[in-house]
Structure 1
Amino acid sequence: MSIESTPRLDPALAAGNLQQLAGYEARHFRWTVQGKVATVVLDRPERKNPLTFESYAELRDLFGRLRQATDVKAVVVTGSGGNFCSGGDVHEIIGPLVRLQAPELLLFTRMTGDLVKAMRACPQPIVAAVDGVCAGAGAIVAMASDLRLGTARSKTAFLFNRVGLAGCDMGACAILPRIVGQGRASELLYTGRSLGGEEGERWGFFNRLCGPDELLAEAQKLAAELADGPTFANGITKTMLHHEWAMTLEQAIEAEAQAQALCMLTEDFTRAYEAFVARRKPVFEGN
């Protein structure tokens, strides 16, 4: 959906709630948009792409803005130089944190948690393309994505225990067990050990493995397929996958009934029916 394609929408409402992000100029990572797919590249390869206070905040704000984006329908997150992300920068984050008091530390931990909340709240499916080191906050970013492609040489580690911290960081105790199971999540969070690529695929952390040279292209291909689908309905699916964690079965079934009825009002639903009758592939437009 774009502002131009919704003439019934009041311009003032559109201006406050719809925006295009293809021209966004990132300061602390690389951001490109090709077609309907945006790619975030964490780009500090000499340090294995660690996060800083600034990149945390910019990622949080950008994923928050994606809720209003009309031109981006799926997102790929990856790292440069053969690694995904080594976590929070030891010198630029960890060092300063040991000198702070509780109010300032809570400011930081809430900011990092807000990144995960923004990733889960944006309607676009997020595909993480994970190669090499994927540790600490980097493992969290991969975890918070909707789909994960890895390589055999991927090394994913929730390292918080190794630095004297609890594994309950940025939603790990809520999200990770739902991906790999309670027992396996407990092992990773208590020990901080690395999860290899092949093991990660067996455990369900990775949807599939790719060769390192094909990883980004495969992730972008998958994202493009999602972006060409019924994106309004995909956004509803993502919302329900997230919110139904806290629902009873009865509540979930009722919430899905209401959500599906809403999707049946979309033009994409009609397009799919008409394409089926005409024996052709539907062309979805996200409305």
Structure 2
Amino acid sequence: MTIDTTHFRCQIEDGIATLRLDRPDRKNPLTFDSYAELRDWFRALPYRDDVKAVVFGSNGGNFCSGGDVHDIIGPLTKMTMKELLAFTRMTGDLVKAMIHCGVPVIAAADGVCVGAGAIVAMASDLRIATPDTKAAFLFTRVGLAGCDMGACAMLPRIIGQGRAAELLYTGRAMSADEGSAWGFWNKVVDADALEAEAQAMARRIADGPNFGHMMTKTMLNQEWSMSLDQAIEAEAQAQAICMQTEDFTRAYNAFVAKEKPVFQGD
């Protein structure tokens, strides 16, 4: 089922939403409007029950080339401080919306994955690349700081402080092999297998205990700011809540019957 969106493509099939930026001739840059529409789409996700996993895919051999030079970078040079802060808060709100959407997000990145495109991949829960994928946090190369859209908080947690510092200071591209070895990419597959691999991963997640997945995503993000004692207590409460779900009972009954459980998300 194709969903009516203006600035990106969205299809929802059997619990999996597949998103793609839709300007392949420009390597899929983001614009003011696409930022805002993506932010609003992810913000609305916790309130719908037809999406169990999201694949943020590539289009035309590339993932995303970051903010459009003509539609975003040029206008930004003429804005007031108030207008600039409104923009940077909006872009950060896209990352917040992805983090708090309650649904696992898989980035399937081919080719160019730079600037805000690299941030979208970073903000996803799982990331798959191809051998030709080059991820770069380009912000210093256009005279800005590397601390954009949560990069200084999130990237070190994924690949380590020193590696993140190098990428954020220099803006250089991280190869697929580097990203795989450093833990940024969960998997690297051939380009012709990228879509199928991402969909298979999404299918496995969508078929799982969706309420449990929501709790897992919530804890993965909330526990960044907790002490170890607080985290253990928060997980105890979360797990106790999950033990009251019908999916937990279904899993037990299926185990007793030596069958595979069929989860329903309640």
Partner of 1:7: none
Task: Give the AA of the match of 1:186.
Answer: A
Equivalent position to 1:211, from 190, 193, 200: 190
Separation (CA, whole Å) in 2 of partners of 1:104 and 1:79: 31
Equivalent position to 1:192, from 142, 152, 171: 171
Residues 148 and 205, structure 1, Cα contact 8 Å, conserved in 2? yes
Partner of 1:240: 219
Question: Would you say how many aligned residue pairs link Structure 1 and Structure 2?
Answer: 266
Partner of 1:74: 53
SS of equivalent residue, structure 2 residue 191: coil
Quote the offset at 1:24 in angstroms.
3.4
Separation (CA, whole Å) in 2 of partners of 1:243 and 1:227: 22
Partner of 2:6: 27
Partner of 1:51: 30
Separation (CA, whole Å) in 2 of partners of 1:45 and 1:23: 19
Separation (CA, whole Å) in 1 of partners of 2:236 and 2:227: 14
Partner of 2:123: 144
Residues 2 and 10, structure 2, Cα contact 8 Å, conserved in 1? no
Residues 43 and 79, structure 1, Cα contact 8 Å, conserved in 2? no
Query: Is it true that 1:183 corresponds to 2:162 in the alignment?
Result: yes
Runs of at least 5 residues in structure 2 that lack an aligned partner in the other structure:
none
Partner of 1:156: 135
Deviations 1:238-284 (A, max 9, x none): 00000000000000000000000000000000000001111111000
Residues 103 and 214, structure 2, Cα contact 8 Å, conserved in 1? yes
Identity of aligned residues (%): 66
Partner of 2:65: 86
SS of equivalent residue, structure 1 residue 49: coil
Deviations 1:63-115 (A, max 9, x none): 00001110100000012110000000000000000000100000000000000
Residues 107 and 126, structure 2, Cα contact 8 Å, conserved in 1? yes
- Alignment TM-score, normalising by the size of structure 1: 0.92
- Alignment TM-score, normalising by the size of structure 2: 0.99
Separation (CA, whole Å) in 2 of partners of 1:78 and 1:165: 27
Runs of at least 5 residues in structure 1 that lack an aligned partner in the other structure:
1-21
Separation (CA, whole Å) in 2 of partners of 1:230 and 1:280: 16
Residues 130 and 142, structure 1, Cα contact 8 Å, conserved in 2? yes
SS of equivalent residue, structure 2 residue 5: coil
Equivalent position to 1:104, from 83, 107, 113: 83
Deviations 1:174-197 (A, max 9, x none): 110111011111011001000011
Ranges of 4+ aligned residues in structure 1 off by more than 2 Å: none
Separation (CA, whole Å) in 2 of partners of 1:202 and 1:153: 15
Task: Give the AA of the match of 2:132.
Answer: R
Partner of 2:200: 221
Quote the offset at 1:23 in angstroms.
6.2
1:126-145 equivalent positions in 2, closer than 5 A: 126-145=105-124
